[in-house]
Amino acid sequence: MSSTVVECPACGAPVEWSVKSPNRPFCSGRCKLIDLGAWASEEHAIPGNELEDDLFSDDIPSRSH
């Protein structure tokens, strides 16, 4: 039986999808932290519902960057 191999989302290295790879789908803890940092700095985002954003946009104070 062959194991499933996926690409690390951060660097593209092959990662075996098994208990031997505790950081899966990442190849290492470093790549895992790089991805977490990207989410924290809002480089990654899950798109929201534009209608809901418009309905509730007055309830949320604007953010200055």
pLDDT, one tens digit per residue, over 14-39 is 999 999 999 999 999 999 999 999 99
What pLDDT is recorded for position 60?
A: 59
Number of H helices and E strands in the chain, helices first, is: 2, 2
For residue 41 the two structure tokens come to 């700095």
- Higher-pLDDT residue of 63 and 18 is 18
For residue 18 the two structure tokens come to 């098994």
6 SS3 class? strand
Give me the sign of the Cα torsion angle 43, 20, 14, 3: negative
Asked whether the predicted pLDDT for residue 1 surpasses 60, the reply is no
For residue 38 the two structure tokens come to 């990207």
